[in-house]
Every structure is written in C-alpha cells, then in structure tokens.
Amino acid sequence: MGKTAFIFPGQGSQAVGMAKDAYEAVPAATEVFRQADERLGFALSTLIFEGPDTALKQTSNTQPALLTASIALYEAFKEKMGIHPDYVAGHSLGEYSALVASGVLAFEDAVEIVRTRGEFMEQAIPDGQGGMAAVLGADREALSALCRDITESGQLVELANINCPGQIVVSGTKEGVAAVAERVKEAGGKRAITLEVSGPFHSSLMKEAATKLSGKLGAVTFSRALVPVVANVTAKPVREGSEIRQLLVDQVYSPVLWEDSVTWLLEQGVDTFVEFGPGSVLTGLVKKIDKTVKLYNISSLESFASVTEALEAR
C-alpha cells in the first residue's frame, strides 16, 4: 500500500471566507480560530471571514490567517476521520502548518510566530524596492546562471521557489527581477510574470528578517516531530526540534525546494497527497511533477465527504 503526505499551501492561496464552514460546524475548527484571536489580541477571524481583501493580502495578516484556516480544516478533518500521514510538508509559510500538524509547534505559538515573521519580512526592505516573478519554461541551471550574471552586474536576483518543471520563481531587487524578465529567453524561458507580493521573499535581501526571527524562535518550544517533515531548505526529512528551528531561520532567505521535496516523497513510495487549505495551488504543482499520484483537496467541509470516501477505499 502506498504512503500518504499531507501538504499545506503558502502565501497567495488566501481568500476571504476561507474555512468559515468548518468554523461554523466543527468544534475543533471553531477552537482554532478562537485560539488565534486570543493569542494575537485582535479578531483575526473577522478579517478572514469578512475581509477586506486588501487587509488580508498584507503579509503580516496573510501569514497567520492562512495558517489558521489550514489548521482549522486539518483539525476538522482529523476529528471526523482518523487518517494519519506518513509525511508532512508545506510551501514556505505552509511549512508552519506542517509543523503544527506533526506536533512540532503548538498552534498558538505558530500563529504568533508567523504574525511576527510577516512583520519582519515587511520591514526588511522598503516597499517597492524588491519583487518576485514566476518564470515559465526556463531550465533551472540556466536560470540560476542568468541570475548570477545579473547579480554580478549589480542588481541582486536569485532563485526563490523551485515549484515544478517549467515554473521557477525569482526574487530580488526590482531591477534584478525586471532584468530576468527581459532576458528570460537566454535561460530557455517563455516569459516571466510579476507577482503581487510586498517584498523579495526567499532571497538574501531577507537576511535581516531571518536574524530577527531567530531571536523570536529561540524562546519557543520545538518538540520532536511525530511524523517526518520534509523541509523547504533541504528537501529532506527532519524530526528534531533544534534542527527544525534553524531550518526555519534559513528558510526566510533560501529557495523553497518544492519540486525536490515532492520528488523525494515520491521516491519514498508516497502515492497520495492531501492538501489542507484554500485553493489547489500545491496539488496543481504536484500534478505537474507526477501525473499518476492521487491528489485531494480539503478546502471546505463540502470536500470532506468525497475525500474521506476515497481515502477509506484505499
């Protein structure tokens, strides 16, 4: 029998009203939202359910909001169905959801950490000076070489997210990202799409944010993972709390090796991926890496019945 991985999305998947049906119907999910509001000292749940979208898109709001919605759906699923994963993984911010699901972090600690993480990331570089772009169709090594060439000419730009074959996100100075877009064909790319983000995430311009986050994480308890967590930075499994703490610091300014992480999971015999959270970004990426695996989304209570039925029939 194949193995199962639970996966959790990152920034960009958020939507006003996410997980509201779980909040209203499942006590375990209601409790997650209550804990978030209490720990943060403001009504995050109201922002999630009512918006406005502009406020939800602010990094320091998006990060705790998406974590809360993902974990509420996960807890609701867990309450209704006793299926446990063999592995967990999350994309960027989603790694914190994976760490809660695997017992490494208490949810209340995680929601406070990501709120602060978002603030540190917003403060790292003045608004408008950095950016990110999704490059389609480029060769990974050629794109990496192009980024090095542009960086050496004075405008820093680096690989930020290795998402799937043919989709790599670059991050850096506004000028560096623009230069990649202009020269994308040199790396075999078709085009570059500028992303609506508030900063150059997962680039070395985020090192100041990582240093501040390190201080914050030092005061938090990290338990040993109940199931292996595949880390963004290494695309390898990790279980020890102290190692995970350091990887979260590195993750702020290092590329997210999502394609490599999924490839490693496939090599371990994972044939079923369940994504918890709004949207279906990660299942879409996994499908581009391997079309043969089974993919499920838990994005609402409505999705529970079909997913539960399919997983129980395995």
Q: Which residues carry out catalysis?
A: 92, 202
Nearest 5°: the CA angle 94, 224, 211 is: 55
- Where do the domains of the chain lie? 3-124+205-312, 130-197
Return d(Cα 135, Cα 160) in angstroms, integer.
Answer: 11
Superfamily name and number for 130-197: Malonyl-CoA ACP transacylase, ACP-binding (3.30.70.250)
Identify the residue with better confidence: 201 or 314: 201
Identify the residue with better confidence: 308 or 210: 210
* pTM given for the model: 0.97
The answer to whether 3-124+205-312 and 130-197 have equal CATH topology is no
CA torsion sign, 243 to 222 to 249 to 59?
positive
Domain range 3-124+205-312, its CATH number among 3.40.366.10, 3.50.30.30, 3.30.2290.10, 3.40.50.1100: 3.40.366.10
pLDDT digits (tens, 9 = 90+) for 269-299: 999 999 999 999 999 999 999 999 999 999 9
What are the residues facing 248 on neighbouring strands?
none
pLDDT band at 70 (very low <50, low <70, confident <90, very high): very high
Torsion angles phi and psi, residue 223, rounded to 5? -90, 165
* pLDDT at residue 314 tops 80: no
